[in-house]
């Protein structure tokens, strides 16, 4: 198990690896003064996970109340956060108590947002259970819900006091979710650590790879907490990726869409003489080994009309992320029509 300290806000302690769940009680006790913990969990999780977390908190002296959320992106709405507010109110949670979010990115985004906004902020502890949440969404303080047709339109930055990232939870993860998470793992390899590209394969990545992904995320969020510049690097492949997701009406999973987006950006980088010729093959090979599809070309035409909607675009220019070579990324402002080469 590894321990990290994120130098953000009041600071976030993270425990990462198999068996990290044993640190939940001590981490929660160190994080808050109160003795009540409000557990918000994804109702679709195997029952052993919330039972384990509840027992761990109780063993450290917390009185635990629990609220099961309906998971899935379609439920990531203000109404879900409002249900959590009702649960916190009924449980008598105060600002000195803890909210504990257990689940994937959807649960973490809702529970973190509710913790950030209830009574202007209750201590939040994140217990991520998907590969996406363990390598990405549990870290960096972005919380929020979808609104109308926009993803994550309502939200705020709110750092958890602790993240308990027990990779044993991943043993029950469905294959489809593993594959989707691998898109982001490979993105970390592509932007900052090319050895990850050589190491990935079928199956859940090792604790070492997961910890390396978290270290990369830590580096970028500490440098640019509010996502105003350098943190955009973490969005490599996401501009085309989000456009592919939107054009497919979200039938292409996020990690797969990011995979297509990364390959499209590498090809564009080659055309603009920004990207070395060894890059495409290294990333494509990692994607295929992880079980992702690399046939991005059929998706490009449909994606183009959605590019201007990207959050990193100001309507005419877009802040695009390119690779120089595997493991080395940079940001370049481009006119939107240059993206359509």
Ligand X SMILES: NC(=O)c1ccc[n+]([C@@H]2O[C@H](COP(=O)([O-])OP(=O)(O)OC[C@H]3O[C@@H](n4cnc5c(N)ncnc54)[C@H](O)[C@@H]3O)[C@@H](O)[C@H]2O)c1
Summarize as ranges the residues that interact with ligand X (CB under 6 A). Answer: 42, 44-46, 71-73, 76, 103-107, 109, 129-130, 132-133, 136-137, 140, 142, 151-152, 169, 172-174, 177, 180
Q: Which residue, 152 or 248, has its beta carbon nearer to ligand X?
A: 152
Residue 187: CB minimum distance to ligand X, A: 11
Residue 177: CB minimum distance to ligand X, A: 5
Side-chain half-sphere CA neighbours of 255 within 13 A: 26
Residue 234: CB minimum distance to ligand X, A: 9
Q: Which residue, 67 or 76, has its beta carbon nearer to ligand X?
A: 76
Decide: residue 171, CB within 10 A, 0-12 exposed, 13-18 middle, 19+ buried: exposed
Q: Which residue, 66 or 282, has its beta carbon nearer to ligand X?
A: 66
Residue 235: CB minimum distance to ligand X, A: 10
**Residue 295 CB neighbour total at 10 angstroms:** 8
Q: Which residue, 127 or 287, has its beta carbon nearer to ligand X?
A: 127
- Residue 125 CA to residue 116 CA, distance in Å, equals 11
According to DSSP H, which parts of 69-164 are helical?
Answer: 78-90, 105-117, 131-132
Contacts 24+ apart (CB under 8 A), 310-314: 310/239, 310/242, 310/243, 312/232, 312/235, 312/239, 313/239
Q: Give the closest residue to 286 by CA, choosing from 183, 203, 170, 212.
A: 183
For residues 206 and 16, the answer to whether their CB atoms sit within 8 Å is no
Residue 55: CB minimum distance to ligand X, A: 17
Residue 196: CB minimum distance to ligand X, A: 18
Q: Which residue, 245 or 334, has its beta carbon nearer to ligand X?
A: 245
For residues 341 and 268, the answer to whether their CB atoms sit within 8 Å is yes
Q: Which residue, 257 or 286, has its beta carbon nearer to ligand X?
A: 257
Q: How far is CA 149 from CA 71, 111, 309, 321, in A?
A: 18, 21, 12, 25
Residue 125: CB minimum distance to ligand X, A: 15
- Three-class SS state of 62: coil
Q: Which residue, 268 or 290, has its beta carbon nearer to ligand X?
A: 290
């Amino acid at each position: 198990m590894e321990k990290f300290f994120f130098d953000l806000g009041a600071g976030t302690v993270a425990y990462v690896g198999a068996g990290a769940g044993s640190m939940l009680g001590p981490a929660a006790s160190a994080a808050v003064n109160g003795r009540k913990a409000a557990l918000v969990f994804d109702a679709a999780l195997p029952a052993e996970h919330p039972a384990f977390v509840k027992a761990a908190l109780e063993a450290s002296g917390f009185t635990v109340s629990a609220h099961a959320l309906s998971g899935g992106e379609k439920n990531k709405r203000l109404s879900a956060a409002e249900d959590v507010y009702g649960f916190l109110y009924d449980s008598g949670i105060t600002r000195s108590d803890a909210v504990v979010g257990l689940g994937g990115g959807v649960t973490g985004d809702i529970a973190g947002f509710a913790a950030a906004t209830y009574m202007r902020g209750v201590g939040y502890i994140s217990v991520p259970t998907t590969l996406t949440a363990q390598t990405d969404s549990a870290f960096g303080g972005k919380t929020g819900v979808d609104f109308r047709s926009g993803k994550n339109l309502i939200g705020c930055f709110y750092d958890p006091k602790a993240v308990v990232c027990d990779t044993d939870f991943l043993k029950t993860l469905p294959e489809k979710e593993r594959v989707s998470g691998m898109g982001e793992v490979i993105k970390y390899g592509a932007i900052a650590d090319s050895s990850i590209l050589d190491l990935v394969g079928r199956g859940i990545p090792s604790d070492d790879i997961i910890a390396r992904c978290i270290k990369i995320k830590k580096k970028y969020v500490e440098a640019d907490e509010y996502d105003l510049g350098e943190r955009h690097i973490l969005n490599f492949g996401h501009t085309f990726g989000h456009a592919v997701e939107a054009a497919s009406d979200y039938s292409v999973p996020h990690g797969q869409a990011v995979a297509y987006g990364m390959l499209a950006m590498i090809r564009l980088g080659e055309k603009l003489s920004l990207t070395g010729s060894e890059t495409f093959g290294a990333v494509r090979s990692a994607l295929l080994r992880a079980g992702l599809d690399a046939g991005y070309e059929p998706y490009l035409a449909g994606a183009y009309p959605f590019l201007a909607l990207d959050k990193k675009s100001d309507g005419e220019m877009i802040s695009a992320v390119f690779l120089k070579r595997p493991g080395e990324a940079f940001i370049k402002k481009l006119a939107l029509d240059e993206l359509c080469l």
